Structure 1
Amino acid sequence: MNNKLIALAAKATCFQRVRVLPYQAGRIQSRMLLLLGILVLIVVGGFFWWKSRTEANTDPASAIAKAAPGAPGVNGGGRRFGGANAVQPVSVQAVRRQDIKVMINAIGSVTASNTAVVHAQVNGVLQRLNFVEGQQVSVGQLLAQIDPRAYEATLGQAEGAMARDKAQLDNANIDLARYRDLLSKDAIPKQQLDTQQALVHQLEGTVKVDQAAVASAKLQLSYTRVLAPIAGRTGLKQVDIGNVVQPSDANGIVIINQTRPVTLVFAVPSANVPTITARLRANEEMAVNAWDRSGKRALATGRVATVDNAIDVTTDTIKVKAVFANADDALFPNQAVTVTLQLDTLNNVLAVPPSAVLRGTQGFYLYVVNEDSTVSTRIVTPGTVDGDWMAIEGPLKPGEKVVIDGVDRLREGAKVEVIAADPKQRAGATAPARTGKDGGGKHGRNKPADSPASSAAASK
């Protein structure tokens, strides 16, 4: 009896400690009902999902569709990535014989054939500029005019002094002739004749000095006309009209670059030096093509002129200079261009697209499509690439078809189906959309008219 009383007392104490208020009990019940509802929804949804998957797997139509060779999920994926026993779609290209150009690609810099900074050779005020910036000028063409008046005055003074001294010389020569006649008659002493002779020589020297002064004055006057020392293209003017110019000016009046012809300097590997020098000694022309920096637009075509006299040991290259006529001024000095140099031509060699050549543990190889639509590997040696074709050596014959696309899942003896390399040229690529009950219309699925599915439906 006592034990029962003690137990009842303990229970009462516990209920007092965990007593729950009425509004708290309502919240707990609501949460429990919400969790129960979510659990029921999850169970029902899982049941319907399992039932739908089971029906799909047991549906005969679905099983046939999945078993089709081109269906996804069979043999490792779609038609292109089928299993080992599936027929692999590939694109091919026939082996052929053709000439392959041996080309060298490099980056070059355009340089002017000659460059001249036109300076004034005398001091003076610049009166006139006789050129347009960017104009092509010829040798000796008048570029600028410096005020000539001071130099014309100097020339006048020199010419006047020369005329005076020349008159004195003429008078001394007349006296010398008279003294010789008198001496022959013993009318004067010989010393007087000798003195006159010395005076004549003195005046002759003075006249020569005067002649040199006149020539110098004429030269200084000619320098007031600034002429082009070389033929070429003028740059921007470095001085304006009205300024005083002098020979010590650092920038001069204008800079002329000879761009017709223009030169191009680029570096090639030293291994090509024997071929280049041999062709230069034989006077064979080597074509050089200049392209823009992207390598997509051709700018000009020239020829190799010479090579440098030493190889750069840091880069193991040698500089080559090419000459371009540049009649259209497509090349400018200091312009960076892409260069292609044709070293040689391989005549009538076997060629395949570069995409056909693969590299494996056995070396370089490619896949050849046999007459029974299987492929076999051939070990080859790749050579020079010329555009979309590569020279090649190996057990190949012209006309054999090599795989150029779809080699990712091929192996020796695999069955293949040849398709067009261009997706636009494949069967059904340009077929019109079908409309109707089978999925056409505004929201229907388009199906090519000549697709395998439509052909099978038509045959049924």
Structure 2
Amino acid sequence: MKLQKKKHVFMAALLAGLLLGGCQQEKEKAMMVQGPVEVDVVTVQPQSVELQVELPGRTAPFRVAEVRPQVNGIIQKRLFVEGSEVTAGQLLYQIDPAVYQARVDSAVASLARARAVEQSARLKAERYRVLVKTKSVSELDQIEIEASWKQAIADVAAAEAALNSARIDLEYTRVTAPISGRIGKSMISEGALVTAQQSTALATIQQLDPLYVDVTQSSMELLKLKKDLSAGVIAGGDMAKQQVRILLEDGSEYGETGSLEFSDVTVDQTTGGVTLRAIIANPHRDLLPGMFVRARIVSGLKEDAILVPAASISRNSKGQAVLLLVNSESKVENRIIESGRNIGEKVMVNDGLKGGEMVITAGLQKVRQGSAVHAVEHHTPLVGKVTGKTQQAASVVHVE
């Protein structure tokens, strides 16, 4: 009985093995009949690429003026609306002028007295010049009279200066806007006592049109850019006066185009960055001081750039970038490349690839080195302009 059971088990196992073997053979035959695997490819061609750097920064007012009193007194009136536009010379505050008006009146009286004394001294001096010729007065008396007259002239000049100073102080009771721009909140109200050159500003005016954009670029990236320009790797000139485009915090592009004003000559020791300053029009006051933005600045032009889809690049065990190509024999070839900047969904290839070669973009998991494939050209023409960021310095390239 036991022997019969063992015989049945053996027969079942043998039958299962024959079935599995038959399936495997059928599968291999099907694969042999299938032939070359169909893959999508793109034939790469050199093209001109406008390189840009995209740098973070913040906006800053074109001019800033803190309004401060230049005389002591009580604020009588505030004559502006907080947050409004003001023009240079516009009256903002009125300080009580009574004391300063009295000083002006006193200085006017002092000047009149000094002029009267000067006139008397002048007439007396003229008379003594005549009398000294007839020996009616001594020469000593005549010299003393001349000196008294000159002293009276000096007193008149001093009185005129005092009057001018009093008038200036009286004018300072009218606190006016030093520049045109938007004024912020008032730090004092009517009835407050203010003092000359006090530390607290009465208000702050900021000129918002145009506006500065201060950005920071890595000194390493700046040095690399200069080396590439000098070596002819990329074409371009001085970055000064280059056009600047602004990206807002929500990712949208600002409607106005600015220009690069200057690049600082000192590297910040704490950040290792160099400050670049751009100026941009702000007619509608869409930009406000202190906003975080990103500035796109043209840095050069690469004439023979090679671009490949980012999805076609893989990494080997050493971390090297690898492409799968279709060679002249319609077989798959692994190619190690040096990848560069990311450009949206494309990557610039610095070395290891040349124009006219076919890069596999789809079906990578179905093929391997040496596999025979059927290449289907996948056309992805560039329409308009394509931009993207670099991995290291957030640089951007602009493809025409």
Query: If the length of structure 2 is used for normalisation, what is the TM-score?
Result: 0.72
Residue 151 (structure 1) shift? 1.4
- The 3-state SS of whatever aligns with 1:380 is strand
The answer on 1:328 being equivalent to 2:277 is no
Q: What's the CA shift for 1:157?
A: 0.9
Q: Tell me by how many angstroms 1:370 deviates.
A: 6.7
8 Å CA contact 2:240, 2:261 repeated in 1: no
Q: Deviations over 1:335-361 (max 9, x none)?
A: 222233331121242222222222225
What is the CA–CA distance in structure 1 between the aligned matches of 2:379 and 2:189, rounded to whole Å?
65
Map of 1:383 onto structure 2:
340
**Within 1, Cα distance between the matches of 2:215 and 2:140?**
79
- 1:203 to 2:161 alignment: no
Structure 1 letter corresponding to 2:355: K
Name the structure 2 match of 1:34: none
Deviation, 1:174, is 0.9
Q: Is the 8 A contact 1:113 1:258 kept in 2?
A: yes
Match of 1:290 among 233, 238, 246: 246
2:359 corresponds to which of 392, 402, 412 = 402
| Structure with the bigger percentage of helix | 1
Q: How do 1:17-96 and structure 2 match up within 5 A?
A: 91-96=40-45
Q: Deviations over 1:312-351 (max 9, x none)?
A: 3454332322222333333322222223333112124222
| Displacement after TM superposition at 1:287 (Å) | 3.1
Q: Tell me: CA distance 1:93–1:285, structure 2 relative to 1, closer, same or farther (3 Å).
A: farther
The answer for the alignment partner of 1:169 in structure 2 is 118
Distance 1:281 1:223, change over 3 A: farther
Give the letter for the 2:53 counterpart: I
Tell me which residue corresponds to 1:341.
Answer: 297
| Deviations 1:225-280 (CA, angstroms, capped at 9, x unpaired) | 22222343322222223433333543322112233332222222222334469899
Distance 1:329 1:373, change over 3 A: farther
Instruction: Report the Cα distance in structure 2 between the residues aligned to 1:99 and 1:88, rounded to whole angstroms.
Output: 34
Which residue of 329, 347, 350 maps to 2:306? Answer: 350
Change in Cα spacing, 1:116 to 1:322, as seen in structure 2 (3 Å) is same
Q: How far has the Cα of 1:210 moved from its partner?
A: 0.7
CA displacement at 1:200 relative to structure 2: 1.0
Q: Which runs of 5+ in 1 are unaligned?
A: 1-56, 58-62, 68-73, 76-82, 423-460
Q: 1:135 aligns with which of 84, 106, 115?
A: 84
Matched residue, 2:178: 229
Question: Is the 1:299–1:330 contact (alpha carbons within 8 Å) kept by the matching residues of 2?
Answer: no
SS of equivalent to 1:188: coil
2:43·2:377 contact (CA, 8 Å) conserved in 1? no
8 A contact 1:89–1:419 mirrored in 2: no
Relative to 1, partners in 2 of residues 1:180 and 1:284: Cα closer, same or farther, differing over 3 Å? closer
Assess, with a 3 A threshold, how the Cα gap between structure 1 residues 208 and 259 changes in structure 2: closer, same or farther.
same
Cα distance between partner residues in 2 of 1:268 and 1:107: 8
RMSD of the TM alignment (CA)?
A: 3.8
1:49 equivalent in structure 2: none
Alignment of 1:294-309 (within 5 A): 294-298=250-254, 300-309=256-265
Q: Distance in 2 between matches of 1:172 and 1:281?
A: 75
* Match of residue 207 from structure 2: 258
Question: Aligned residue pairs: how many?
Answer: 346
**Normalising to structure 1: TM-score of the pair?**
0.64
Name the CA distance, whole Å, in 1 between partners of 2:140 and 2:254: 88
Report 1:357-376 matches (<5 A).
357-361=313-317, 363-368=320-325, 375-376=332-333
Change (3 A) 1:146 1:276: farther
Return the match for 2:368 from 405, 411, 419: 411
Is the alpha carbon distance of 1:368 and 1:165 closer, same or farther for their aligned partners in structure 2, counting shifts above 3 Å? same
Provide the C-alpha distance between the structure 2 equivalents of 1:276 and 1:286, rounded to a whole number of angstroms. 15
Question: In percent, how many aligned pairs have the same letter?
Answer: 27
The alignment partner of 2:305 has SS state of: strand
CA contact 1:102–1:344 (8 Å) conserved in 2? yes
Q: What code does the residue aligned with 2:193 have?
A: V
In the TM superposition, what is the alpha-carbon distance from 1:281 to its structure 2 partner?
Answer: 8.7
Q: Tell me the distance in 1 between the aligned counterparts of 2:326 and 2:79.
A: 73
Q: 1:205 to 1:348 in 2, by over 3 A?
A: same
Whole-Å separation in 2 of the counterparts to 1:137 and 1:156: 33
Paired residue type of 2:152: L
Q: CA separation of 1:265/1:193 partners in 2, compared to 1, >3 Å: closer, same or farther?
A: same
Matched, 1:122 2:78: no
